[in-house]
Amino acid sequence: MTTLPPSATASRAVSSPSPLAPPVTSATFPSKRPAMISPFVGVFRATVVSGHHLAELTGLNRGEGVTMAKPPYGVGAGRIKGAGKRQTIIAYFSMRGVSFEDRCSAAAAAGFDGIGYNGAEYLKLRSEGWTDDNFRAILDKYGVRILELEALRLLDDDASRDFEHIARAFGAERIQVIAPFAGNIDIDLQVAGKWIGDLARRTEDADVHYAIEFLPPTRIPDIATAQKVCAIAGHPNVGLCVDTWHVYRGAGAPSLADLDFARVKNVQVDDGTMKPVDPDYIPDCIHNRELLGDGEFPLVDFFRSTPPNAPISVEIIDDDLDLIPAAERADRMARALERTLARI
């Protein structure tokens, strides 16, 4: 069992280039609906395994802790109709304001293979006394896994250690990586590519994959740029997360023509209007997404333009859906995915 030293609740000293924005949590992107306030109402900074806690991480590697086994990359149980053996995940922000246990319970009941989870939220629960065994007990109870983690900001060295610990402890297969969209935006892509390549080499023994999620308001705005960073990284475990929102609200459908299927680690799917509801990209992105089939995105074309075996992460961040209980919310997302897959 892994335990936290008393210093775990101390503020994290970020060794990366300054300034970095705070970690991304449900509190960073709260719902506008007053009836659904995230329990994580404060954005916090804490360390669990970075810096002084490397001994704990090393202990896990020596077998003193428990490392969860994982099946071959990308294989799912086939509980979502039409997905076949594609992995299906309910993304972290799809369940905004939901407890860890309710998140796992809802995902299992809806048929998802696993959940996406958030590094900063994990740190908060650890600082409140949770152990990795507490997380494992809940995952085992509902038969789901943590399949993806988000969101690791490029060049944040301390956070990379935290994410590495979580991935190793729970067998997470992918870490979502984003370029900063607030603070230190003007990153050097050569430096970023080398940095993420070094991470992949550091964790290749655990087969951890890194999915660069391109975001239009950042230095990695599109597929083409993300693929350049992958080439600089020079490691097969570095690839792309292709999100419908960032495609159709960014470079558009033509950008999919140059997609290198071999680099795709997962797709994140959602729907929305082709014309922004809010002119500010980030607020629109975190308040106004729609269930698959309820918007205007050409989802069938998207699936036909992306790898047919890529893990599918359903990421629908919508204020109205936040008002719906977790189990029903997850079920709606799963059934909408099934209807979409049936059209392909």
Parse the chain into domains and list their residue ranges.
6-342
pLDDT digits (tens, 9 = 90+) for 116-126: 999 999 999 99
d(CA 74, CA 80): 14
Task: Give me 140's structure tokens.
Answer: 């085992």
pLDDT digits (tens, 9 = 90+) for 201-236: 999 999 999 999 999 999 999 999 999 999 999 999
In three-state secondary structure terms, 264 is strand
DSSP assignments along 9-38, one per residue: GSPP---SSSP-PPPP-TTTS--S-TT---
Averaged pLDDT for residues 298-322: 98
Task: Label residue 97 left, alpha or beta by phi (over 0 means left) and psi (-120 to 50 means alpha).
Answer: left
d(CA 292, CA 341): 10
Instruction: Say what percent of the chain tops pLDDT 70.
Output: 78
What are the start-end ranges of the E strands in 252-293?
264-269
Averaged pLDDT for residues 2-30: 39
The overall longest dimension of the chain from CA atoms, in Å, is: 53
d(CA 206, CA 209): 9
CB-neighbour burial class of residue 33 (10 A; exposed 0-12, middle 13-18, buried 19+): middle
pTM, two decimals, is: 0.83
pLDDT band at 42 (very low <50, low <70, confident <90, very high): very low
Give the C-alpha distances (Å, rounded to integers) separating 312 from 112, 115, 287, 318.
10, 11, 21, 18
Among 180, 190, 254, CA closest to 215: 180
Among 64, 59, 81, 147, CA closest to 339: 81
Give the right CATH number for 6-342 from 3.30.530.20, 3.40.50.300, 3.20.20.150, 3.40.50.620.
3.20.20.150
What H or E segment, with its residue span, contains residue 160?
A: helix 157-170
